[in-house]
Structures are given as C-alpha cells and as structure tokens.
Amino acid sequence: MVFTERELDVMNVLWESGTATVAEVRERLPDELAYTTVLTILRTLEKKGYVGHSEEGRAHRYHPTVERDAARASHLRRLVRKLFSGSPGALAAHLVSEEELSQEDVRKLRELLEERTDPTRSS
C-alpha cells in the first residue's frame, strides 16, 4: 500500500470523518486544492482500492476501504526497508535520538520495550 503525500492528506480526512463528499474533503484539507484535483485524487484512490463511494443525490460520498493502522504498518515497513536497511531498531534509535520526546512518550516506550523483552510481563 503506497500513498502519495496528497493521497495521504485525503485519506486522513476520510479516516477522521468516516465519509465525505469531494467538497467536504476539500474543506478539510490543509492546503487549498481545486475541486477537480480533489476529485481526481479520490478517483485514483478508488481505482487503487483504498476508497469506495456511494451515491448521495448528484454527489458521491467517499469512504475509506482500508484501515489507517494497515496503511501505517505498510508505510512503516517500507520506510524501515528503504531508509533503515530493514532494521526497526535503527528506526527506533533514530527517533529517540533525533526527536523531542515527552516524559509520557519515554514512559510508554519503556513499557513497550519491557513487555517485548520480558514475556512474563503483561499490561
């Protein structure tokens, strides 16, 4: 599953709203795009099988056909493979060393790591 930047913007609108018309998607996008551009993106996503639609009067109401978590997992696997030589640990190390983490983020990471390294521990 591969999305362009614009396709991800549109998918995020659909994942957050559940369903939307072209005009509704357009209103919620971070950048101002022409109606026809948004329509083209939605049609492309539909051809790829990531979006479906139902008739609503003269308009189409679009909905995601893939879950956000599935898209995240797919993109993350690709990112790890392409930029981190297939090493999830290298990605994690990069994020921890390069990004600003809150105390809550650090606590959650510690819990996850402890659960992964100690199978007798469960939350």
Query: 81-103, pLDDT tens digit by residue?
Result: 999 999 988 988 898 888 888 89
pLDDT in tens, 69-84: 999 999 899 999 999 9
- Half-sphere exposure of 16 toward its Cβ, with a 13 Å CA cutoff? 10
What's the 3-state SS for the chain? CCCCHHHHHHHHHHHHHCCECHHHHHHHCCCCCCHHHHHHHHHHHHHHCCEEEEEECCEEEEEECCCHHHHHHHHHHHHHHHHCCCCHHHHHHHHHHHCCCCHHHHHHHHHHHHHHHCCCCCC
pLDDT confidence of residue 109: 87
Q: How crowded is the C-beta side of 84, counted as CA atoms within 13 Å?
A: 16
Is the pLDDT higher at 114 or at 120? 114
Domains located in the chain, CATH noted: 5-64 (1.10.10.10), 87-123 (no CATH)
Looking at per-residue confidence, does 41 or 116 come out higher?
41
pTM: 0.77
